[in-house]
Chain A
């Protein structure tokens, strides 16, 4: 069964190599078929890994270099259900994208399929790896593929987004590598479990703190947490729609999963006593990200850029969940990542339908297009997607949300769900507003509060102008949406996920399992029932999102006094916030430096103070 473990990486990577080598001899559509087959196989294999790893981790040592006397020299994949589920999400989204790309692009070239498959392999390798340097290699592979994919349509506009993306993320990977170097210097090990075992004997000295700060900054840059988020909106706004699906649905969230993957096996032993202060830092960063992302989404009219800010806002929510540093928080956050990855995928693909039918992704220019053209499926995706982003119970991300609410209460952060619900309302509102304006023609034709009209050239260059065959275009988003809705109804999922997360966070047992092959004690999965509070917050955030959408559409109909007062209070901070998103790479890197320094300082204060 062991060989199964490496297949989610090997299958797409090999397919990509074969496609690249034989691209000149291939029959038409062979690349599409190969892409769909490889991505579907990766999905199936990852799901098989989830099932196989239900009771114990699957640890696979490449080349048979198993640890001797608890000393690991080889490189391992360490599979547990939460990671394997993320790999399955990546595979599923990639499959949907390949099906969609069949008709979405006229002339795309085999290179697109090759890059997407390598990207998929890197995503899977990154979540499954149990070795710090192996994680770095897959992290880099995924970054380089993503840079190339974002700039795939070489027009004027994608270039700036791709350059900003590549430069900021390269700085991020330098942080990551420096952190690895310091950890290796301290412990002489690269296997996560082994590093943790060596560190547990030491205290939390300066070097360990700095390495944690560097790794954290590197992962948060990839995730797009404030103030590292600037690249994300630029990159997603210009990337081809099919690429956005994987970037937004999986890549951002993998940065957060990596934080958990680093914290629990490596640092939880050393930092355990100060977990409370560290929790405050991570949750604080999450809340800030969630609110800034939601606010920026509200003032956006470019639909792709709006969804990019929705992604940032959700990353903030997930970061707060992971940052609670509890099993329930991690389980809840991962379940939310899985469900909302499907929702965001459906939303981006629906934007793609709009772009290919109407030639624009600008909310105001598209106003009322749904009345002139029949776009029932895109409309369904948008309205349902907006409600799911807002957190409508009991669908999609709701089981995860209920876990998060309960976990926040457990550690004394009972204010947290209310703030995160506000962020969800802010993120869901603009999507619903755009849906109402585009498909129903509601609201004003112009709104000066929204950002200026996107410059020409943002429209997709590769989109065919011919009549499109609908089923291949609306099938994938609809399927993703239905899966997301159904995800909320999987029986007992919350309890099982909490059990897996408990296993994930048990550092000594995990180390014994990886280094000595000792199976862990079975974890009883407690039955988790969503509390009344979770339903309350869920309905409140949905109602809030509807209110935000109505406010966005009919702001001008408010009484004059209220409007003027609101304008005076709202406009200056909003103008400042928007001015910060300048698009200039130097500013972004300066923010990134500032953020990394602040984060490092806070971590030192949290552990030492």
Chain B
């Protein structure tokens, strides 16, 4: 098992974070957030990965066949669903921002301070 997937997960998290912090557009910000979220998918899947093993479907395979961990795949699926719900909600809010304020730049929403 190489360290590459873990390095990739960290990299995705960091670039996504950089994007969220510096973003000047809400749509771009939401996309960066999904990039960050995908780092958790990579992390989960690589934790359950087993070298030279098949998918965890136990029909038509001899007993004792090595399979990758199905639990992390279930976790990843749940995470994907959650990610979609959050992204959809945030995009809907961004559209409302555009409609009401005529901008999608988070720095121009200056109602909250102090």
Q: Are A171 and B36 in touch, CB under 8 angstroms?
A: yes
- Is B72 a contact of A181 with CB atoms below 8 Å? yes
Kindly state whether residue B67 has any CB partner on chain A within 8 Å: no
Contact A184 B112 (CB under 8 A): no
Tell me the complex Cα distance, A147–B39, Å. Answer: 23
Please report which residues of chain B, range 16-50, place their CB below 8 angstroms from some CB of chain A when the two chains form the complex. Answer: 17, 20-23, 26, 29, 33, 36-37, 39-40, 43-44, 47
Q: Given A174-B40, A184-B72, are A452 and B21 also a contact pair (CB < 8 Å)? A: no
A452 to B110, CA, bound (A): 12
Q: How far is the CA of A451 from the CA of B111 in the complex (A)?
A: 12
Assess the B109–A160 pair: CB atoms within 8 A: yes
Contact A581 B111 (CB under 8 A): no
Give the chain B neighbours of A593 by CB distance below 8 A.
17, 21
From B94, which residue of chain A is reached at the shortest CB distance? A163
Stretch at the interface among A149-157, A242-250, A344-352, A370-378: A149-157
Contact with B along A451-462 (1 / 0, CB 8 A): 110010110000
Q: Once the chains bind, are B71 and A164 in contact (CB under 8 Å)? A: no
Residues of A within 8 A of B26 (CB): 163
Check A156–B106 contact: CB distance below 8 A: no
Per-residue interface assignment for chain B, residues 45 to 88, with 1 indicating a CB less than 8 Å from any chain A CB and 0 otherwise: 00100000000000000000000000110010011001001100
**B contact residues around A174 at 8 Å (CB):** 13, 36-37, 39-40
In the assembly, what is the distance between CA of A173 and CA of B85, in Å? 13
Q: How far is the CA of A166 from the CA of B90 in the complex (A)?
A: 7
* Contact mask for chain A residues 561-597; partner B; CB cutoff 8 A; 1 contact, 0 none: 0000000000000000011011111100110010000
Which residue of chain B has the shortest Cβ distance to A455 in the bound complex?
Answer: B111
Residues of chain A contacted by B21 (CB below 8 angstroms)? 586, 589-590, 593
B83-114 to A contact mask, C-beta < 8 Å, 1/0: 00110011001101100110000110111111
Q: Is the CB of B82 within 8 A of A140?
A: yes
A167 within 8 A of B: yes
Tell me the bound Cα distance from A309 to B27 in angstroms: 30
Query: What's the Cα separation between A586 and B110 when bound, in Å?
Result: 13
Question: Contacts A160-B112, A184-B71, A190-B71 given: A584-B106 contact, CB under 8 Å?
Answer: yes
Whether A237 is near chain B, meaning CB under 8 Å from some CB there, is yes
Q: Are A170 and B72 in contact (CB under 8 A)?
A: no
Cβ-defined contact, B47 with A156, below 8 A:
no
CB atoms of B22 and A170 under 8 A apart:
no
| B102 vs chain A, min Cβ distance (A) | 10
B33, B43, B101, B113: the one contacting A181 at CB < 8 Å is B43
Interface size class of B (residues with CB under 8 A): 35 or more
Q: How far is the CB of B15 from chain A (nearest CB, A)?
A: 13
User: Is A221 engaged at the interface, CB distance under 8 Å to the other chain?
Assistant: no
Per-residue CB contact flags for chain A residues 365-383 toward chain B (1 = under 8 Å, else 0) read: 0000000000000000000
> Which residues of the partner chain A approach B114 to less than 8 Å between Cβ atoms?
299-300, 451-452, 578, 581
Q: Is the CB of B112 within 8 A of A162?
A: no
Does any Cβ of B come within 8 Å of A543's Cβ?
no
By beta carbon, the residue of chain B nearest A154 is B96
Q: Which of B13, B33, B109, B113 contacts A170 (CB 8 A)?
A: B33
- Chain A residues near B29: list those with CB within 8 A: 167, 585
In the bound complex, what is the Cα–Cα distance between A155 and B97 (angstroms)?
A: 9
B residues in contact with A157, CB < 8 Å: 111
B91 → chain A, closest Cβ, in Å? 11
Q: Contacts A181-B75, A589-B17, A593-B17 hold; do A583 and B111 have CB atoms under 8 A apart?
A: yes
Given known A-B contacts A163-B97, A184-B71, A583 and B89 have beta carbons under 8 A apart: no
A148 at interface, CB cutoff 8 A: yes
Pick from B23, B37, B78: contact of A137, CB under 8 Å:
B78
Max chain B Cβ within 10 angstroms of own Cβ: one of A155, A457, A585: A585
Q: Which residues of B contact A140 (CB under 8 A)?
A: 82
Whether B90 and A167, one on each chain, are in contact in the complex, defined by CB atoms closer than 8 angstroms, is yes
Give A180's nearest chain B residue, CB to CB.
Answer: B75
Q: Cα distance A147–B90 when bound, in Å?
A: 9
Tell me, in angstroms, the Cα distance from A161 to B107 when the chains sit together. 13
In the complex, which residues 399-427 of chain A have their Cβ closer than 8 Å to any Cβ of chain B?
none
Instruction: Determine the distance from Cα of A159 to Cα of B111 in the docked complex, in whole angstroms.
Output: 10
Report yes or no: B93 in contact with A162, Cβ–Cβ below 8 A. Answer: yes
Most buried by B among A143, A157, A234, A586: A586
Smallest Cβ distance from B27 to chain A, in angstroms? Answer: 12
Contact call B20/A171, Cβ cutoff below 8 A: yes
Contact flag A156-B111 (CB < 8 Å), given A163-B90, A584-B106: yes
Q: Shortest distance in angstroms between A171's beta carbon and chain B's nearest beta carbon?
A: 7
The reply to whether A184 and B47 form a contact with Cβ atoms under 8 Å apart is: yes
The residue in chain B whose Cβ has the minimal distance to the Cβ of A137 is: B78
Q: Is the CB of A167 within 8 A of B111?
A: no
**Complex partner residue of A578 from B44, B107, B113, CB under 8 angstroms:** B113
Kindly list the 7 A-B residue pairs having the minimum CB-CB distance in the complex, ordered from nearest: A583-B112, A451-B114, A185-B47, A160-B109, A156-B100, A578-B114, A140-B82
Instruction: Name 9 interchain pairs, CB-CB below 8 A, sorted by A.
Output: A144-B85, A156-B111, A166-B90, A167-B20, A177-B79, A178-B40, A582-B112, A584-B107, A586-B22
8 new A-B pairs (CB below 8 Å) besides A159-B101, A166-B90?
A: A159-B109, A181-B72, A451-B114, A452-B114, A583-B113, A584-B107, A585-B23, A589-B21
